Amino acid sequence: MTAGNKKERNKAGETAIDGKNSQHEARDGVEIGLNAAIVALERNEPMILTVVSNGETQAANDHQHGRQYGLPFGRFEPLTHHTMEMGVRGFVEEQTGLKFGYIEQLYTFGDRGRVVPRVDGEMHVVSIGYLALTRMGEHNPVSAQWRSWYLAFPWEDWRQGTPEIIQQEIVPRLLEWAKTTRAKSRGGPVDPLDRVNICFGGGGVGWDDEKVLDRYELLYEAGLVYEAQRDGRRAAAEIKDPPWLGEPMILDHRRILATAMSRMRAKIKYRPVIFDLMPASFTLLQLQQSAEAVSGNLLHKQNFRRLVEQGGLVVATGKMSSETGGRPAKLYRFRKEVLLERRTAGIRVRR
Amino acid sequence: MTAGNKKERNKAGETAIDGKNSQHEARDGVEIGLNAAIVALERNEPMILTVVSNGETQAANDHQHGRQYGLPFGRFEPLTHHTMEMGVRGFVEEQTGLKFGYIEQLYTFGDRGRVVPRVDGEMHVVSIGYLALTRMGEHNPVSAQWRSWYLAFPWEDWRQGTPEIIQQEIVPRLLEWAKTTRAKSRGGPVDPLDRVNICFGGGGVGWDDEKVLDRYELLYEAGLVYEAQRDGRRAAAEIKDPPWLGEPMILDHRRILATAMSRMRAKIKYRPVIFDLMPASFTLLQLQQSAEAVSGNLLHKQNFRRLVEQGGLVVATGKMSSETGGRPAKLYRFRKEVLLERRTAGIRVRR
DNA sequence: TCAAAAGTGTTATCCTTACACCCATGT
DNA sequence: ACATGGGTGTAAGGATAACACTTTTGA
């Protein structure tokens, strides 16, 4: 059953509002995939839990990337999982033995035309991405490994200054892409050069750490990430021997990870989600370095401390840590009561 | 085929990352429903496009609400619709004749256990909510009608001061609910009274216009909206003859609308989405009243004007409007270039 | 003694908020 | 004349960004 043309089924005026008017063709050839970007911190590096593809299925036409990483993945089984979030918790624990606390839905991707061949036709996969946060070492994963998210997105780590890859590899190729694209599509909705500037902070526009997804999608369109070629997209700028940027991932998992990073970077600024990555007590420098790891840039130390303490986000526990290398530091813990006092409680510091 | 127990299929270590290891049971009994909250403004009232349920299916055990409203609804057909967004555009136009410009995905709901009986078993519906924006009168809908979103959420309109329903109906019942709930679940994650205060701005916490979804979910949990009873939820506070708050909608459509309102109210503060609801040229008062209609509260006139003009969001067209009742007003238009200059461009004014 | 990190204090600047007041038109 | 909405100016207050400097430990 390949589910023929149903274009005419919903005519104007039928107002199919409860899905009841489709007695035949009950099976639709759609399944729900659940994907989790599970984040933890290890020595000030944001890590995500990955599983390794055996390189058989979709890496078949894959010359240089035989082994690819992916996010933990499972199917939504309505009869087993009462909710989709419980589905995510369930298959992650089954596959990797890992439990986590915080979970949040990111986005539902169905646009890339993911089709999986099956014995009786084709199965379309709609994948729902989730962001989950946990602490390193609480549970040890099996048959999965922690990897820095900056391996897939090297241009997102500005903690040691502007990454070289941006000026050396990305910007020149994107400018070339913008030129040829602009010539082709006169008067499109957005000027491609503007897009490059907005995404990568050129032409007076500054770098916006939250635009992780926009940048990935631009690189995909310009044919500069491996997935673009793998998905059969012809590079607009016809680049010879393109140096694929960042480590690729299977299917659309790198896109889901980009969504997770964008969400995470936006959210730490107005919600205290960073504490789901922290131990129960910590020094202010540890907290700052965690925020820096997530946002990918350095923060101003004094202002960070003042904001975080005076903002009521943390309180001193009274204990000290002398394992810091210098003067012993006060230990702090998250102060839950902020949520009652301020409507935005996060880490909003520059520099 | 009712798809038996598959709990054991994904064992630890299998790392099912590409969905290939399920040769049997290819059909899962899941379908994708697409729902659109389509918003437009009419005489400073935010309207959503609704279709009317015939009251047969799920309104069967429905004594007082035989006719219920719903959002335009369709199934995602991967073979017809190249993308899910195109699917939304397609079925909305087929059902109602309406076209729209802006569209954005909201959230994917699969938790309420929506089950539709089919000839060969049960079909679980996962519904993806969308927010779409359009201008009144560009196209006239057929077999659908525009209705104010405040009919479903009367407590969200603070433009004439605090709505009476809050102090008279909502707060006393929620306080009672919080008391009984607190007694039952000692030491739960969040104190129910705190939740009431955070959501409805009691106890020193102010009103947050963006918390539309949180408020609806709280009212649902407390059994104060009709849907809670209809879904078989026992009211925690065992309220006698409860006056259901706001107009109910079919299935989970009111929840999707709440998500749309929350997103919209949050987004006008940092993205120029309000202009997708405005005509090409407008006076500043019209713009202000549109923002007030969406956010549900009044804004400070002078500051609004300064912010919006000096922020570079609009430019004067040079023409004037003399249909204002007072002194003729300059006409303005949206200034697209803001997007290049500032990373947040929206309407962020108090009072 | 020096490096490393903790911690304190102060200043300049910008943005938000609020208030006061004048202008142009129709009735 | 007056009601209605349009439009301008400015001052107070608070938050933010930037800088300089002192303190406490371990090696």
Give the pLDDT band (50/70/90) at residue B81.
confident
**B73 pLDDT more than 50:** yes
Residues of B in Cβ contact (< 8 Å) with A33: 19
Q: How confident is the model at residue B238 (pLDDT cuts 50, 70, 90)?
A: low
- Tally of CB atoms within 10 A around B267: 17
Answer yes or no: do B221 and B281 share one domain: no
| Tally: H helices and E strands in chain B | 10, 10
**Domain shared by B106 and B239, yes or no:** no
Q: Is the pLDDT of residue A6 over 50?
A: no
Enclosing H/E stretch for A108: strand A102-109
- B326 CB below 7 A from strand C atoms: yes
Q: Which nucleotides of C are covered by protein (CB under 7 A)?
A: 3-10, 16-20, 23-26
Taking the C-alpha atoms of residue B77 and residue B80, their distance in angstroms, rounded to an integer, is: 5
Q: What is the residue type of B261?
A: M
Q: Is residue B225 part of a domain?
A: yes
pLDDT digits (tens, 9 = 90+) for A270-296: 999 999 999 999 999 999 999 999 999
Nearest to B11 among A80, A94, A124 (CB): A94
Closest approach of A327 to chain B, Cα-based (Å): 36
Residue B257 lies in a domain: no
Residues A51 and A115 in one domain: yes
Q: Please indicate, yes or no, if residue B163 is contained in any of the structural domains.
A: yes
Looking at residue B168, the DSSP 8-state letter turns out to be: I
Residue range B133-144, pLDDT digits in tens: 999 987 778 889
- In this structure, is residue B262 part of a structural domain? no
Helices and strands: H and E segment counts in chain A: 10, 10
- What residue spans of B242-347 are helical by DSSP H? 253-267, 284-295, 301-310, 338-341
Lowest mean pLDDT among A47-56, B30-39, B327-336: A47-56
pTM, two decimals, is 0.88
Tally of domains within chain A: 3
Q: How far is A35 from chain B (nearest CA, A)?
A: 9
A128 in contact with B at a CB cutoff of 8 Å? yes
Co-location of A28 and A56 in the same domain: yes
DSSP type of residue A301:
H
* Same domain as B139, residue B164: no
∠ CA A52-A111-A171, nearest 5°, is: 75
What is the model's pLDDT at position A299? 92
Return the pLDDT at B344: 84
Indicate if CB(B351) is under 7 A from strand C: yes
Portion 142-161 of B in contact with A at CB < 8 A: 142-144
For residue A252, is it within any domain? no
Q: Which H or E run contains B227?
A: helix B226-230
**The CATH number of the domain where A281 resides is what?**
1.10.10.10
Let me know if residue A255 belongs to a domain. Answer: no
Chosen domain end from A246, A281, A309 = A246
What pLDDT, on a 0 to 100 scale, did the predictor assign at position A184?
A: 76
- Write down which residue in B100, B126, B151 finishes a domain: B151
Residue that is last in its domain, among A151, A184, A215: A151
Q: Which helix (H) or strand (E) holds B122?
A: strand B121-133
Beta strand B45-52 pairing with A121-133: unpaired
Decide if B273 contacts B133 (C-beta within 8 A). Answer: yes
A13 in the same domain as A108: yes
Of the residues A9, A28, A50, the best mutation for testing chain B's interface (the one with the most B CB atoms within 10 Å of its CB) is A28
Instruction: Answer with the residue of higher pLDDT: B22 or B187.
Output: B187
- Are residues B168 and B130 located together in one domain of the fold? no
**Partner residue opposite A15 with nearest CB, options B15, B24, B95:** B95
Beta bridge partners of A132: A38, A103
Residues of chain A found within 8 Å of residue B15, distances taken between Cβ atoms: 51-52, 72, 95, 143-144
Beta pairing, strands B329-334 & B145-148: unpaired
For residue A109, is pLDDT > 60?
Answer: yes
Whether residue A134 sits in one domain with residue A73:
yes
Q: What is the mean pLDDT of the segment spanning B14-21?
A: 37
Residue B275 per-residue DSSP state: G
Owning domain of residue A223 = 157-246
- List the CATH number of the domain containing A58: 3.90.79.10
Is B191 a member of any domain? yes
Distance (Å, whole) CA B302 – CA B285: 10
A199 phi and psi angles, rounded to 5 deg: -70, -45
Same domain for B94 and B177, yes or no, is no
Whether residue A131 contacts residue A39, with contact meaning beta carbons closer than 8 Å, is answered with: yes
Residues A147 and A11 in one domain: yes
In a domain, B56, yes or no: yes
> How high is the mean pLDDT of chain A?
83
Residue B166: pLDDT above 80? yes
**Of the candidates B81, B77, B59, the residue with the CA atom closest to the CA atom of residue B68:** B59
- Secondary structure of residue B276 in the 3-state scheme: helix
Together in a domain, A12 and A107: yes
- Same domain for B32 and B10, yes or no, is yes
Average pLDDT along chain B: 83
Residue pair B278/B135 in contact (Cβ under 8 Å)? The answer is: yes
